[in-house]
Structure formats: structure tokens, C-alpha cells
Structure 1
Amino acid sequence: MTLTGLYVPLITPFDRSGAVALDALEALAQQALDDGARGLVALGTTGEPSSLSADEQQAVLGVVRRVCRERRAPLVVGANTAASLQMLCSHAEVTAALTVVPSFVRPGEAGAVAHLTRLAADSPVPLVVYDIPYRTGQYLSAAALRRLAEVPGIVGLKYAAGGINADTVELFADLPDLAILGGDDTFISPLLALGAHGGILASAHIATGEFVRLIDAWHAGDVAAARDLGGRLGRVSAALFAEPNPTVIKAVLHAQGRIPTPDVRLPLLAAHPDSASAALTAVEGLLATPRA
């Protein structure tokens, strides 16, 4: 299985009563695929899964499963424990699980690799490892990521190292047999230039088609177009991530009339109006710029 192209990690919209707005979620999923996304991610961190009840999580998953089944689109589901992975065994639509590197305990590289190796061995679906050290507290070197690439059952890496560093260069200099999907929205263009196979990008709720074009441009070797579009999308992503994800994205989607409220659940707080306004201005500027 090869994971390429754009995957949109769906937010969880809420209605005015505070309940999950399942109709709005379905509309977002359908629109992302209509606009060219290769697949969807359900219950990723962008979807605020830790603030959802078990019933709400199943309702969200049911909607996205149905959309992906009808559209024949790949579905990746956030699952970080053996128990949550086992729950995916009855869902034929699930292509892979997005599994974050263990957080807070900082087990060291060897411990992280051993943990993910065990999960992969016991999982009914392949794993896409989510490496995001500035949130987990556990850094993985290029050598550790290469060891994970050799583990049966690990088929992809969502790479969000917080920028481009020496290990990034080392990893991409000799790509392992692993689908690498950029996960740092602001840096997706340089990661694609280095050889990333695609991206899992929350920013792609907004201007999905432009992110698809960016990935296609780099893969086609159209450097001039990719550089221009990548720079403009980078500014949009920076504005959308000016506050904790997905607060600004929800504010923009609400302003566009695509979700019933901009609400998030604690411990997140709603984005400041200034951040939402700045992001809307950035998006409007992107969409108003003629394509190269």
C-alpha cells in the first residue's frame, strides 16, 4: 500500500447546543474529496478526539467511514493504543491508523521504536506513525525513523519535526521504503521539494484544491509554480496556526458558512477575533491571486 497525495484530517464541528454537527462533518468530508483530496483522516488530533465521548467518536467515525466507502477513498483513523486499534478490525473502509509517538513519558528512541513495533504487530490495520516531537517531547532521529521503516505493518510516517533540520536532510537524502507525508503545514512545500509523498494537512480544509495543486506541481517537477504556490500557502498556514489547532481553522470555516459554530471544547479556547480576521485576509489574498 502506497500513501500519496493530500489527506485532510477532519475537524469535529459542533452545533449551537454543543453536540457534534454530523451533517456539517459529512459536508466537509465530501467537499475535501470533491476538491481533490486523496483521502481523509478521522479522529486525528485536529478532530479533538480527547474531548469527545466514546459515542461521539463512533458517530464521527461512522460518518467518515460512509463517505469514504461511497467515494472509494482511503480512510486513516487516529488510534494510539492496542485497544483503540483493535476496534478498527471490523471497519473494512479503514486503510491505516495514524498512531502518535508516545508522549510525555519520553521513553527514549529505543523505547519509542519498541512500543510502535509492538503496536504494529498487534494491529489489524497498518500504521502511519505520527512524529511530532514538539508536542510529544520525544525526538526521533533519522536513524530511528529508518528502523521504524523496516517494521512490518508500519507503512507511513506523518513527519512534523517543526521545520527542516539535519535529521530531515538525512532522512530525505536516502528515502526509506516508507510513505512520508508532511505534517507541518507551514513547511509542506520544502518537504515536498525534498521528496515527501504528500501531506496530512489541517490547513487543507481551506483551499483544498490549492494544496492538491502544490503536491502535484512538486511531483511533476514544475518548480517555478510549486515555489510560488508553496510560498503563498505557507503564509495561509502560518495564519491558520497562529493559535492552537484547530481554533483558527474553525473560525474561518464558520465565517465561510461551512460549519454552524466556531466552537471548540476545553482545554481549547476559541480563537481571538484578530487571529480569525488575519487568517481570512490571508485566505482571501490566496484565492484572489491568479494561478501561475
Structure 2
Amino acid sequence: MLTGLFVPLITPFDREDRVALDAVEALADQVLADGATGLVALGTTGEPGALTPAEQRAVLNLTARVCHERGAQLLIGANSPEALRDAAGRGATAALTLVPPFLRPGEEGVVAYFTKVAAESPVPLVVYDIPYRTGQHLSAATLRRLAALPNVIGVKHAPGGVTDDTVDLLADPPAGFAVLGGEDAFLSPLLALGGHGGILASAHVATSRFVELIEAWEKGDLTAVRALTGPLGALSRALFAEPNPTVIKGVLHAQGRIPTAEVRLPLLPASAAHVEEAVRRATALG
């Protein structure tokens, strides 16, 4: 069972538009030191589509090494047989595999697709369910069918908030199937319903506070939950005020943690106003 906080790492760039691997390593070390269970490499937040194959390999090699050295879990964004083999070869805990985007194959098609992929994959799968990007809604009933597949161990649940299907799924959760929140601002409601943790880009910032929130729900410490839910929700909203990860990069650069706030097309850097608001929220959290 996957539990706790996973941070989907950004890919920082230097002033020559090269991947700043030293900054990747520093970020990885810091979020793990601050209590994250593991990392996600080459997730959406890492801008994988804008990286060359060589850059992708460099990021994977580095994150795999850091997780191995620290005894941390590693999820790798992988959506092809070759990528799944690469994930297994690097000792990944699981592959974060997207519901087939754009085609909108229907829920039966999604189940058939994951049945085939899971049977052939050398590494367990975490289904990435994000219908506002893929165009494909998945019901709670379909998520249960996916959970029943051998080699499928969880879902990154990002339907845009807490939906009727979220409530339905967690009212009778599949055994051994991790429901990890992928909507940062809605982490606390998901945990209240019985979610198992989160894959949260916002946790680049105030990592230890997100860890505290997850642990507070596990312990039933509602005083801590109430103290953290509002500020962390506000921070997440501020960090997602523009397309991910533009504001996050702006904040990390302002904090001196990455060499530039640059992103690659089709993304554009975040506005100064949104970065300043997110920095203010982060500073208030300590």
C-alpha cells in the first residue's frame, strides 16, 4: 500500500536552458529530508514532454540514485512499454501511468487498456486519473475494476475536486489499493474520506507542513488538521494560479532553491504578482 506524501519533482533549468541537475538533487534531498515518502520523476510537473531523451534519462538516473540512497519510494511517469521497462530497470516502486488521453475511449476501453498494460508491465502501475486533461471520466465502479487488476496498486485521483465518485470510492475502498490525492487544494477533504496520501506539486513548498497534515489525519488530531487545512489549501490555490509548474518555479527561484524560474514552451513564466502572493502564503506557513 502506497501511503504518505509523494512530491512530483519540477525540472529546473539554468541560464543556458540546460537541466540544472544539481538543483534537482538538492530539491529531492530537501523534500525527502522534510518527510516526504517518495518522489515522482517525469510527472506532468516535471515538463517531460519538453525534455530531450537524454535529459529524461539524466533526471531518472539522478532521482533513482537519491531514492536508493535514502530508502525512499520512487514513482516514474511511464506511458509506453519502453518507459515501463526503464522504470523497472531503475528500481521504481511503481509507474504513474496516464488514462489514455485525447481519444476518449470510454470506460470499457480504459479497463481493457490497463488490463493489457498491467499484464505486460514489469513494474506495478498507479493509474493517473485526471479527466480535465485526458477528456475521459472514470466512475467509482470503473476505478474498482481497475483496482481489481493484478499489478495495479493505486490511483492518483485528480478529478477536479471531491466528487460523487470520490465519496463512492472511499465509502468502500478496494483492499490494498492506494487512493492518492492529486488535487492539492482538496487534500484534506480526501484524507477525511479515507484517502491514503497525496502526489502534490505544492509540496515542493512547505513540505513538512503537508507531511504534518497527512500524519494529523492518520492520528485523528483534528486540532492540527484544522490549523493546517486552510493555510495549505490557500497555498495550493496560489501555486496553481497559473499553469503548473510556473508559479512553483517562481517561488523556488525567489527562495534561492533553483537557478532560474524558466519553463519551456508551450508554458510561459508566471507573473510576478502570482509569484509574490504564493511566496507570501509560503512565508506565513513558516
Normalised to the residue count of structure 1, the TM-score between the two structures is 0.96
**Which residue does the alignment assign to 1:162?**
160
Alpha-carbon distance in structure 2 between the residues aligned to 1:79 and 1:265: 20
**Which residue does the alignment assign to 2:24?**
25
In structure 2, give the amino acid aligned to 1:237: S
- Higher mean alpha-carbon deviation, 111-120 vs 183-192, is at 111-120
The structural deviation recorded for 1:259 is: 0.1
- Tell me, which stretches of 5 or more residues in structure 2 are unaligned? none
- Check conservation: 1:189, 1:227, Cα contact below 8 A: no
- Higher mean alpha-carbon deviation, 252-261 vs 174-183, is at 174-183
Alpha-carbon distance in structure 2 between the residues aligned to 1:227 and 1:159: 23
- Higher mean alpha-carbon deviation, 219-228 vs 32-41, is at 219-228
Alpha-carbon distance in structure 2 between the residues aligned to 1:149 and 1:214: 26
In structure 2, give the amino acid aligned to 1:39: G
* Cα deviation 1:125-176 (Å, max 9, x = unaligned): 0001011111111000000000000000000111011111211111111111
Aligned to 1:132, which of 123, 130, 138?
130
* Cα deviation 1:42-69 (Å, max 9, x = unaligned): 1111000000000000000011011011
Alpha-carbon distance in structure 2 between the residues aligned to 1:286 and 1:30: 21
Moved over 6 A (4+): none
- Higher mean alpha-carbon deviation, 107-116 vs 234-243, is at 107-116
Alpha-carbon distance in structure 1 between the residues aligned to 2:86 and 2:2: 22
Q: Secondary structure at the match of 1:148?
A: helix
Normalised to the residue count of structure 2, the TM-score between the two structures is 0.98
Alpha-carbon distance in structure 2 between the residues aligned to 1:87 and 1:30: 22
**Which residue does the alignment assign to 2:199?**
200
In structure 2, give the amino acid aligned to 1:116: F
Indicate the RMSD between aligned Cα atoms, in angstroms: 0.8
**Which residue does the alignment assign to 1:290?**
none
In structure 2, give the amino acid aligned to 1:19: R
**Which residue does the alignment assign to 1:103?**
101
Question: How many residues of Structure 1 are paired with residues of Structure 2 in the alignment?
Answer: 285
**Which residue does the alignment assign to 1:272?**
271
Q: Secondary structure at the match of 2:114?
A: helix
Aligned to 2:113, which of 92, 111, 115?
115
- Check conservation: 2:13, 2:260, Cα contact below 8 A: yes
Alpha-carbon distance in structure 2 between the residues aligned to 1:195 and 1:99: 23
**Which residue does the alignment assign to 1:211?**
210
- Tell me, which stretches of 5 or more residues in structure 1 are unaligned? 288-292
The structural deviation recorded for 1:90 is: 2.0
In structure 2, give the amino acid aligned to 1:26: E
Aligned-residue identity in percent:
64
Alpha-carbon distance in structure 1 between the residues aligned to 2:123 and 2:137: 25
